[in-house]
Structure 1
């Protein structure tokens, strides 16, 4: 009898874990060019939503159908050709889960492509300005909205009243309709709409991201930059000991910045490690 009870519990648990929910799936291309090359990395991304939550995912192996992106590209200013642009895709992907009612955003991020962390944010302020400018994206009439200096970048987005859900790709949300397109004014972040359809996903697939390490946004951006500085200092040490040829430091270019880094962006297009170190000496 105990054995029968065990197998019943096991069967029940399996069935519950496979329980599906009805979602709308939106396919986007999330093109990110953080290295200022002639091309960025065109991630295949998905947004899933229902009437109260949404989940955006990109940098996922099964979306891409391969485990890496590799291509030779050039420098935007034409100084260098044949740069090897490589990106290893992640098994699970970067995830952004939004609760429409509580305004809580819970993200799965990966630091230095080595370990995952959970980042929690609430009541993100975009300060949207909705304009009367419109255009059609697919079959949808969309209107332009803008936000200035959202964590170091200016964005324009296109949303549609035809789909009245307050969400969109990546962290973008808070408009009276689904966001179908996003561009920043430096041509670094470009998100474009592909298609929309109904889909079923398991509750486990759609669950809020969790990991052992949990950060708020300020802590996460600080740790991300700390790891970058550690990488640069290690590169300097290897150059000094002859283990690496001398080269210019790689600029720190991120999708979003903290307040201290934004102050540096007012003076410099990109944040380089020596600029940051000099600013600390003056404080």
Structure 2
């Protein structure tokens, strides 16, 4: 793991797109009734002078691959667009952004085909304790907070001069290098860092009249508004998919594909919808141990 002093030196001489990227190993138990099933995902925390972004490395790669595939279809000019729904999207679908200097925080996540931008109205209130220990190569100090329906224990390091951390956590006198809830259901540990340069790429421009599943502007919402959306989704998981199919029915240029549990590919819309609804309900039943349970009450 490189020392942060090197990163800070490098970022001064780079373009405005230079970022400090921190790698966190995220371990979590999605099903509270099966604590032996522990998942792992590599999460990225990118920090620059304007703020930070926290997101899944697997999802980032999957989204980049899907975008490249769509661009190939557009360049081919066949007139039809195939949307393959795969399971290789990573386990963590959300993203968290924080805007400096006031740490205005937003959670980005998808419910069916809609993308939501949920404003955070709660600031982590920390109790800093005298306990100290090493986390990796960094000297760290203990702090606790109650947040999102969980009790958290964090370790922060003043060796890394960012008052930020994974997920929605921030506000300590150094970067949070490890944080875990008291039930042991969710933990995030810093495992590496480097300086990266990023570029902003425009989204593929679709032909007029075509609407793709999951595309579109983020819908801004507060927590109460999102809770209503979530309850409606639980009642009818495929509503948005059916609506999008109807909007594109005249052009007939969007094709949904999915696979059954035995690996058989299906493309009949009604079969796809039934399969998606079945999988969604099964997945929600097994994923009952959210990192922020208060958001889904």
**Range of TM-score over shorter length:** 0.5 to 0.7
Q: CA deviation at 1:153?
A: 0.5
Distance 1:111-1:41 versus aligned 2 partners, 3 A rule = farther
TM-score when scaled to structure 1? 0.61
Aligned to 2:149: 152
Q: CA deviation at 1:218?
A: 2.4
Aligned to 2:115: 116
Q: CA deviation at 1:105?
A: 1.2
* Residues 227, 295 of structure 2: 8 Å contact kept: no
TM-score when scaled to structure 2? 0.59
Within-5 A mapping of 1:237-252:
250=285, 252=288
Q: Does 1:211 align with 2:217?
A: yes
Within-5 A mapping of 1:80-229:
88-89=88-89, 93-112=93-112, 114-122=113-121, 124-148=122-146, 150-203=147-200, 211-229=217-235
Q: Does 1:41 align with 2:47?
A: no
Distance in 2 separating the partners of 1:219 and 1:255: 19
Distance in 2 separating the partners of 1:225 and 1:187: 27
Aligned to 1:254: 290
Q: Show structure 1 runs of 5+ residues with no match.
A: 1-18, 68-85, 232-243, 262-283
Structure 1 residues 56-112: Cα deviation after superposition (integer angstroms, max 9, x where no partner): 1126335589x9xxxxxxxxxxxxxxxxxx964169952211012132112320225
Distance in 2 separating the partners of 1:89 and 1:259: 22
Residue 155 of structure 1 aligns to a residue in which SS?
A: strand
Higher relative contact order (CA 8 A, sep 6+): 2
* Residues 120, 214 of structure 1: 8 Å contact kept: yes
Aligned to 2:241: none
Structure 1 residues 167-200: Cα deviation after superposition (integer angstroms, max 9, x where no partner): 1111111111101111111111111111011111
Distance 1:111-1:189 versus aligned 2 partners, 3 A rule = same
Structure 1 residues 122-167: Cα deviation after superposition (integer angstroms, max 9, x where no partner): 5x3211001111111122101111012x121101111101112111
- Structure 1 runs of 4+ with >6 Å offset: none
Distance in 1 separating the partners of 2:18 and 2:296: 42
* Residues 134, 140 of structure 2: 8 Å contact kept: yes
Give 1 or 2: higher strand fraction.
Answer: 1
Residue 60 of structure 1 aligns to a residue in which SS?
A: helix
* Residues 60, 93 of structure 1: 8 Å contact kept: no
RMSD value over aligned CA atoms? 3.4
Aligned to 1:26: 22
Distance 1:229-1:92 versus aligned 2 partners, 3 A rule = closer
Residue 226 of structure 2 aligns to a residue in which SS?
A: helix
